[in-house]
């Protein structure tokens, strides 16, 4: 019996951590079934070729595995991008930067810059039952989505947000993208989620919010045109019927992580 050393334990923990992060990303993006299918295929391949030493089926599966990596990269290019961004996220290395700079991060100032104007705008839009879709960029850049709308690059202002989503405005049907404490673009087109668990009562804005939350780490805020309810999509999950206090708390938590 071979001795299991520290190196082997670290190896197992690294593989387990990698699988856990892949599981989280696939679950958030709605592709968990594909992940389970690929994992099952790998288990069958290991059992047949390595443990049972079945040469015929093993050789066939080997051929599939030789091109499997390329197929997986094509299928999961968005998820791989999110995984790499998560590893290199400045949030994960913020503590090191703070140590090197010998200071604590001041999150209150960055929070005040965009949280309250968005909350006030959503409150007023909800009262008048004016539909809105606001996306706040996190770590994953949203440049490709910004280009689908009209570039604004204006300071975040609740009045401006309300005017953008005014029913007679030419930009009210699209999404507003906020990044770097600026309203970057308006009238943007977002990917639509095809998640079958979304209630049929929710419209295209909610599906678009969930779609961008599945493809990126952005936060999408929706104001329903029919009911005036406020919803937030983040990390592949949609939270509906939020109060203004709950919205402020959610956005403040996210801003404190930046």
pLDDT score, position 95 = 47
Taking the C-alpha atoms of residue 258 and residue 252, their distance in angstroms, rounded to an integer, is: 10
**Region class of 153: left (phi > 0), else alpha (psi between -120 and 50), else beta:** left
Q: Is 258 exposed, middle or buried (0-12, 13-18, 19+ CB in 10 A)?
A: middle
Distance CA 161, CA 152 (A): 11
Question: What are the counts of helices (DSSP H) followed by strands (DSSP E) for the chain?
Answer: 10, 7
Distance separating alpha carbons of residues 49 and 21, to the nearest angstrom: 27
Instruction: Report pLDDT for 80.
Output: 66
**Residue 256: Cβ within 10 Å count:** 13
**Cα torsion angle, 89, 91, 92, 94, sign:** positive
Name residues of the chain where pLDDT drops below 70. 1-3, 25-32, 34-35, 68-69, 72, 75-112, 255-258
What pLDDT, on a 0 to 100 scale, did the predictor assign at position 83? 62
31's CB contacts (< 8 A; 6+ apart) are: 76, 79
* String of DSSP letters for 82-104: HHHHHHT-TTTTHHHHHHHHTS-
Question: What values do phi and psi take at 187, rounded to 5?
Answer: 70, 30
């Amino acid at each position: 019996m071979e001795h299991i050393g520290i190196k082997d334990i670290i190896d197992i923990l690294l593989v387990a951590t990698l699988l856990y992060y892949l599981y989280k990303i696939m679950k958030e993006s709605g592709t968990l079934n594909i992940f389970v299918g690929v994992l099952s295929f790998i288990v069958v391949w290991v059992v047949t070729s390595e443990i049972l030493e079945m040469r015929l089926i093993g050789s066939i599966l080997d051929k599939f595995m030789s091109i499997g990596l390329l197929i997986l990269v094509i299928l999961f290019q968005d998820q791989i991008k999110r995984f790499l961004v998560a590893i290199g996220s400045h949030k994960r290395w913020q503590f090191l930067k703070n140590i090197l700079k010998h200071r604590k991060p001041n999150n209150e100032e960055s929070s005040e810059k965009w949280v309250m104007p968005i909350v006030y705008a959503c409150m007023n839009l909800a009262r008048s039952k004016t539909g809105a879709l606001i996306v706040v960029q996190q770590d994953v850049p949203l440049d490709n989505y910004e280009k689908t709308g009209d570039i604004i690059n204006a300071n975040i202002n609740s009045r401006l947000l309300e005017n953008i989503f005014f029913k007679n405005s030419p930009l009210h049907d699209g999404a507003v993208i906020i990044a770097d404490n600026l309203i970057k673009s308006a009238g943007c087109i977002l990917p639509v989620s095809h998640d079958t668990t979304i209630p049929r009562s929710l419209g295209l804005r909610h599906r678009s919010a969930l779609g961008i939350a599945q493809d990126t780490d952005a936060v999408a805020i929706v104001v329903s045109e029919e009911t005036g309810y406020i919803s937030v999509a983040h990390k592949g999950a949609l939270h509906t019927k939020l109060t203004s206090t709950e919205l402020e708390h959610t956005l403040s938590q996210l801003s404190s992580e930046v």
